[in-house]
Amino acid sequence: MDADYKIYDKIRSSKKLTNYEVAKRAGVTQSTFSDWKSGRSKPKLDKLTRIAEVLGVPTSDLVESVQVNIEVPGSGSKPKSTLTVEVDGKDKPLIESLLASYRRLSGGNKQAVVDLTKALAEAETANVARVSGIHGEEMKRIFEGGDRHEKP
């Protein structure tokens, strides 16, 4: 989780609150904000949650990115594992909702979602290739990490 002071400051200003007012209502010290702004430290989750409550926003609105842990069930001899991905803080509720919906699907529909996701990713790749002028094997090397040069 990476709490962003600029995001906080924009929300706080829109609510016409001062750091002093937020600090008092959230039960944190004013130095929380000066340290955060200067980059010396960032508020821990418990403080950030209280600050978000004072501002009337979800905690995820105050962060640039958060980690989402995804339980990956095992199959056969493959053990269960956890995949951790970094997502935009504002998208976390949507990602969690999508994952919950995905988990409720039957096996065939889960595969359809996987296929659709792959098709969307391929369409995005094709669009990048069209815009950048990079095609075929060169595009494959770049996306597989084997060729990192830029095309002029």
pTM as predicted: 0.48
Residues 6+ apart with CB under 8 A from 58: 52, 93
The predicted-structure confidence for 17-63, as pLDDT tens digits, reads as follows 999 999 999 999 999 999 999 988 888 888 988 999 999 998 878 87
Identify which of 56, 68, 61 has the alpha carbon closest to the alpha carbon of residue 89: 61
Q: Residue 147 above 60 pLDDT?
A: no
What domains can you pick out in the chain, each with its CATH number?
A: 5-63 (1.10.260.40), 105-152 (no CATH)
Q: How far apart are CA 36 and CA 39, in angstroms?
A: 5
Q: How confident is the model at residue 104 (pLDDT cuts 50, 70, 90)?
A: confident
Q: Please name every residue paired with 85 in a beta bridge, in sequence order, or none if there are none.
A: 68
Give all strands (DSSP E) within 73-138, no chain letters. Answer: 81-88
**More confidently predicted of 33 and 139:** 33
66-103 pLDDT per residue, tens = 666 667 666 777 777 776 666 666 777 777 788 788 88
pLDDT of residue 14: 94
Start-to-end Cα distance in the chain: 37
Residue 145 pLDDT > 70, yes or no? Answer: no
Q: Long-range contacts of range 101-106, CB-CB < 8 Å, 24 or more positions apart?
A: none
Distance between CA atoms of residues 97 and 27, nearest Å: 31
